[in-house]
Homo-oligomer: A and B are copies of this chain.
Amino acid sequence: MPKVTSKPTTIEHVDLDVLEDTLSFYIRTMNIAVSRDLDARLDGCEVARGTGKITTLLLVDSHPGIRPSVIAQIIMKDRSAMGRLIEQMIEHDLLRRQTSASERRAQELYVTPKGAELAAMIRPIVTKQSKDFFSFIAEEEQAQVMDILRRAYRKMVGMTGERD
């Protein structure tokens, strides 16, 4: 039974119905905002727009030889979307691809010099953007949210938490 209010003409008189208490609503909405902001800061940077490019670049940079399918799992894309993303980044001369010697079905990804340079440039930007964007949340609370979401994420993608 929704509480009914009439003809609100400004946002201040609106309540969000059940969405008010729905975590998914806030995740979905904050996503739009934070993504937009990030795109704005990375404007022209060859890795703007859409989730994935940044993660892919950083991941390949710090895990030379990593496979597309592994990245796909991490960013939750299907293989075809992943393939296109990589194709795009190869055309931009950020990545290089070679089929694995041991597993000739699979590929190994490497950054190009240009890719490495961009990764180095982007790393601090991404970190700063997140901090800045959420700056109206206290550091402590940011950490808290992140900690919780990190655990959720890890369970979801099946990371066990062990490092190598």
Contact surface of A with B, Cβ cutoff 8 Å: 2-36, 38, 51, 54-55, 58-59, 61-67, 70, 73-76, 103, 106, 108, 119, 123, 126-127, 129-130, 133-134, 136-137, 141-142, 144-146, 148-153, 155-160, 162-164
A-B contact list, 8 entries, CB within 8 Å? A6-B65, A7-B65, A7-B108, A8-B70, A8-B164, A12-B160, A19-B126, A28-B31
A151 contacts across to B, CB distance below 8 A: 137
A66 contacts across to B, CB distance below 8 A: 7-8, 14
A137 contacts across to B, CB distance below 8 A: 148, 151-152
A67 contacts across to B, CB distance below 8 A: 7-9
B163 and A13 contact, CB distance less than 8 A? yes
A7 and B63 contact, CB distance less than 8 A? yes
Complex CA–CA separation, A45 to B67 (angstroms): 37
B145 and A62 contact, CB distance less than 8 A? no
A61 contacts across to B, CB distance below 8 A: 2, 17
